[in-house]
Chain A
Amino acid sequence: MKHEAEQPVTIYRSRSILTMNPAQPRATHVAVRGGRILAVGSEEQAAAWGQASRDDRYADKVLMPGLVEGHCHLHEGVVWLYVYVGFYDRRGPDGKIWKGLKTIDEVVRRLSEVQATLAPDQHLIGWGFDPIYFGTQRMSVQDLDKVPGGRSVVVMHASMHLMNVNTRALEMAGIDRDTDIEGISKFPNGEPTGELCEFAAMFPVTRMIGNPFRSLGQSQECLAMFGQVAQAAGVTTATDLVNELHDEGIVSLARITQADDYPLRIVPAASGMLFGRDVEACLGKLSQLKQNNHDKMQLGIVKLVVDGSIQGFTARVLWPGYYNGAPNGIWVTAPDDLMYIVEQYHRAGIQLHIHTNGDEATEVALDAIERALTLHPRFDHRHTLQHCQMASPAQFRRIARLGLCVNLFANHIFYWGDAHIEMTMGPDRANRMNSCGTAQRMGIPFAIHSDAPITPIGPLFTAWCAVNRRTASGRVLGESERISVPDALRAITLGAAYTLSMDDRIGSIEVGKFADFCVLDSDPSEAEPEALKDVGIAGTMVGGHAFESPRKA
């Protein structure tokens, strides 16, 4: 490697540069050396470092900091091995837009087309289906048996907690009218409909198809697809917000991400659940595997999960509970375990990312953090509540006082907002879901996220959700929790970078930071709030390497 001062300087000119640095919000030129930002400002300022080559590829584009997805999973790269059958349009790794399927017949048609391309012994696997968009109509074997070819057909739901299968798959898995367990839907005549819910009902099928959704995330092929999908959405840093720390997986992740042609920085969060109360074991493993860290892969944060999901009625909620009367949800980590585990990680100086969905789970997490902070005061811990969907104003006040960050699940408002009004939370509490406005007013550092593959990765869409708070049916959920376009743009850049303790390197276009840019066709800060999601993304730059968006088919 050349001595740093001898490395070439490239000056990029742009129609406008949105820096996200309030001290210098706008610029027209940015100089890059060795993958980092050398200068930003006017042409003159950028040229001040002497000899430089000029690159005008972005001359008619707008640059903003590379977008940061603070809560997604590498499984987003796995799902594209299979056929997308969701309700909304979704962009694949190759840039192709897979049209949303508005009827079950359309789902069957797409599956039929794809099955013709498979080898004879392959299972046909679809993903992304969500029954909530089909009213009372449920997919069944009668639909999936129309797919020709005689092979087993498996359609994973968007939540990943349910699947629909055809008769052939039921036979191969040994499920019939006598299978007397929860989670197997049956017709009035007692025969299974093919809809299977949760672990026990799905397991025989999961075993048959080899559990791909959990096992393939760190393979070369799936990581490549993950990179492509994220890159097309303007993302330059993405989390893998539960990583099981397999030695080989981390080594391969480190090797693949290090290549200049890999378009993402990846931040895996160690799975605290993997180690339970054996915090020492996690710390040991983490310190060993952190030796693989480099600029584009950074291990260090730890993820804990307190409860389940709201739409699955497994989140722990406070009085008055679920609107439809469903019993309270489940603990994934017991409250007293959480007290102990949080204290141990906190004391070791680890930054925690804690999944809480329901407000009871949030309360317990706040108790655990308050206790840890009382016992072991620590400045700038940046522990972050992930999802934190139902926090009350009082809980947000505690979050602010304890110095916590939140990463709110804004996409939920669009995808499940109607279900939250009608079934889970009721018309009042649904309005306070993912209260970005409250977080903003209280000065709580916050990000917003997709939880891909649960919803599609796309920070501009996520920002649109936080700005407009429109549900799929068009209702506005909690008008006063809407935030401005600039605040939402900050949440998907510097806000998310802050929650990852990487705001010194990414999240804004400032001298010394990585040359990570999102390249846009127009200026999102000038977009009408309703049009924010439609701002075109032309590509990204990561550490000075340019990536063009795949052409849309």
Chain B
Amino acid sequence: MWALREPWWAAMPSSLRARRDPGMTHRIPLVVLGGFLGAGKTTLLNHLLTQSGGRRIAVLVNDFGPVNVDVGLIAEHDGETISLTNGCVCCSMGSGLEDALIRVLERSPLPDLIVIEASGVSDPGRIAQVGLSDPMLQLETIVVMVDSEQVVAQLDDPLLGDTLARQIAAASLLVLNKTDLVDSAGLSAVRVRLDAQFGSMAMLEASHARVPVQLLAGGADLAAGLETARKLDCADAPDAHHHHHAAGKIRGVHPVDPQALSPDPDHPFEGGSWRGEGVLDADQLTAALKRLPRTVIRVKGWVTTERHGRVIVHLAGGRVRFERVSSKAGAAMNELVYIGIRGADIHTAMHDALGKLTDHCDHPA
């Protein structure tokens, strides 16, 4: 089973790891963490706060009660915010999510990543949409944790079943936690039930809530890493900027496997890039991205559309967002990077969904 290790991109030269390409986005990645009480959310948040990998993570929690940060790590505690020596902060949402989020977005320096803990009964999908509406935020992942031992009984609970079903339906990444408490037959029964009720979706197994931050913010990191890798790839090809010559090589889907960049053969995600020429129809692109199977967790990249011109497009939480950024002139190539669950044939899915768009658009001569 895949276990907590160094992030796969840790093996990459640091110059390639810049998370914020200045030509790309300045939005703060947002992860929303949902799931019932007892699913392991707080344990996960404690891992995040103490093993942040050098990022300034701001975690918004419902109450400090269960958060158990080593006293030695606490730099300051002002009632509503606990600041850690590693640059992370933990903020209480006692006065409401709005207040807490406004406070975090007024911090200086701004956090590198914001994680909102949805309360045990709230719908993380509704909260997450703030990462698609506020110009300072970019939704990355809606992570929903479930207790493998309890989840089936909870789905059948007459009072709570509909609440849990809404949470799972909203997940862009479902974490089956506490797998150590179920045997393999039990676990496959859980998977069968989830598949029957929710269809195929991106799932990770974990015990003791051990899910590293780079998987939660999968979109931000993996996409950036893939993009860097892709650039490296193109830079190596002397004729990369000549589309005529390069087209055969660079158009279409290019699997880029984290495995190729990391010694870890068990990485649960894989990704790739897609390139296509021409001006895309924004509505068709939106529809195509929204039709992708849920095993594709996150898509982002530069495209040219008839409505926006050059624009960044995101797929996160099953929804599409366009982000206008003053663009570098030139290149009209549409370039998307994507990640999803390994082995779910996401490359074919991307090809099928996006290939049609460029078949029908104007190709530059």
Q: Shortest distance in angstroms between A270's beta carbon and chain B's nearest beta carbon?
A: 11
Cβ of B352 to closest chain A Cβ, rounded Å: 22
Once the chains bind, are A278 and B65 in contact (CB under 8 Å)?
Answer: yes
Residues of chain B within 8 A (CB-CB) of A336 are 37
Which A residues are CB-close (under 8 A) to B96? 214
Question: CB of A486 within 8 A of chain B?
Answer: no
Name the one of B99, B102, B119, B133 contacting A201, with C-beta atoms under 8 angstroms.
B133
State whether A204 touches B97 (Cβ < 8 A).
Answer: no
Report the separation of the CA atoms of residues A335 and B102 in the bound assembly, to the nearest whole angstrom: 30
Q: Mark B126-138, 1 if CB is under 8 A from A, else 0.
A: 1111101111000
* A134 CB within 8 Å of chain B: no
Q: Which of B94-127 contact A (CB under 8 A)?
A: 94-99, 101-102, 105, 119-123, 126-127
User: Contact between A330 and B133 (Cβ–Cβ < 8 Å)?
Assistant: no
Closest to A247 in B: B79
Q: Does A474 contact B (CB under 8 A)?
A: no
How many Å from the CB of B36 to the closest CB on chain A? 7
Q: Name the CB-closest residue of B to A182.
A: B129
Q: Which of A204, A244, A271, A328 contacts B162 (CB 8 A)?
A: A328
Of listed A211, A281, A327, residue having the most chain B CB within 10 A: A211
Q: Does A215 belong to the interface (CB within 8 Å)?
A: yes
Query: Does B83 reach chain A (CB closer than 8 Å)?
Result: no
- Please determine whether A331 and B163 come into contact, CB atoms closer than 8 angstroms: yes
Size of interface on B: residues with Cβ below 8 Å to A: 41
Task: List, in ascending order, chain A residues with CB within 8 A of B181's CB.
Answer: none
A327→B36 contact, CB < 8 A: no
B120 touches A327 (CB 8 A): no
Residues 66-98 (chain B) with a chain A CB within 8 angstroms: 66, 79, 94-98
User: Which of B244-252, B258-266, B317-325 lies at the interface with chain A?
Assistant: B317-325
B62 within 8 Å of A (CB atoms) = yes
Instruction: State whether the Cβ of A526 lies closer than 8 Å to any Cβ in chain B.
Output: no
Say whether B159 faces chain A, with CB atoms less than 8 Å apart.
yes
Q: Is B286 located at the chain interface by the 8 A CB criterion?
A: yes
Is B21 at the interface (CB under 8 A from chain A)? no
0 or 1 for each of A168-180: is its CB under 8 Å from B? (1 = yes): 0000011100111
Find chain B residues with CB under 8 A from A364 CB.
159
Residues of chain A within 8 A of B133, CB atoms compared = 173-175, 179, 181, 184, 200-201, 203-204
A244 and B132 contact, CB distance less than 8 A: no
Chain B proximity mask over A334-359: 1 for CB below 8 Å, otherwise 0 = 11110000000000000000000000
| Chain A residues whose C-beta falls within 8 Å of the C-beta of B120 in the assembled complex | 334, 337
Query: Contact between A275 and B123 (Cβ–Cβ < 8 Å)?
Result: no
Given A200-B133, A327-B162; A277-B65 close (CB under 8 Å): yes
Interface residue? B361 (CB, 8 A): no
Query: Quick check: B98 and A204 within 8 Å, CB to CB?
Result: no
Establish whether residues A181 and B319, one from each chain, have CB atoms under 8 Å apart when the complex forms.
yes
Asked whether any CB of chain B lies closer than 8 Å to the CB of A240, the reply is no
Task: Judge whether A330 and B135 touch: CB under 8 Å.
Answer: no
Given known contacts A276-B62, A276-B63, A211 and B99 CB-to-CB distance under 8 angstroms: yes
**Which chain B residues lie closer than 8 Å to A203 at the CB level?**
98, 101, 130, 133-134
Whether the Cβ atoms of B159 and A180 lie closer than 8 Å is no
Give CA–CA (A276, B67) in the complex, Å.
Answer: 13
Q: Mark A270-285, 1 if CB is under 8 A from B, else 0.
A: 0101111110010000
Q: Determine whether B160 belongs to the interface, using a CB cutoff of 8 Å to chain A.
A: yes
Q: Are A271 and B94 in contact (CB under 8 A)?
A: yes
A199 touches which of B97, B105, B119, B319 (Cβ 8 Å): B97
Task: Give A364 Cβ to nearest chain B Cβ, in Å.
Answer: 7
With A332-B121, A334-B36, A337-B120 in contact, do A179 and B102 touch (Cβ < 8 Å)?
A: no
- CA A264 to CA B208, docked complex, whole Å: 52
Contacting pair A174 B63 (CB below 8 A): no
Cβ-defined contact, B321 with A180, below 8 A? yes
Is the CB–CB distance between B121 and A330 below 8 Å? Answer: yes
Minimum CB distance partner of A180 in chain B: B319
- Asked if A207 meets B129 with Cβ closer than 8 Å, knowing A180-B321, A276-B65, A278-B65, the reply is no
Q: Which residue of the partner chain, among A180, A210, A327, A333, contacts B121 with CB atoms under 8 Å?
A: A333
> Given contacts A180-B320, A274-B94, A331-B160, could you give 14 more A-B pairs where the C-beta distance is less than 8 Å?
A175-B133, A178-B320, A178-B321, A182-B126, A184-B133, A199-B97, A211-B98, A214-B98, A244-B94, A273-B94, A274-B63, A276-B62, A278-B64, A333-B121
Chain B residues proximal to chain A, CB less than 8 Å: 36-37, 62-66, 79, 94-99, 101-102, 105, 119-123, 126-130, 132-135, 159-160, 162-163, 282, 286, 319-322
Interface on A for B, CB 8 Å cutoff? 173-175, 178-184, 198-201, 203-204, 206-207, 210-211, 214-215, 244, 246-247, 271, 273-278, 281, 327-328, 330-337, 360, 364
Leading 3 A-B pairs by shortest Cβ distance: A278-B65, A200-B129, A174-B135
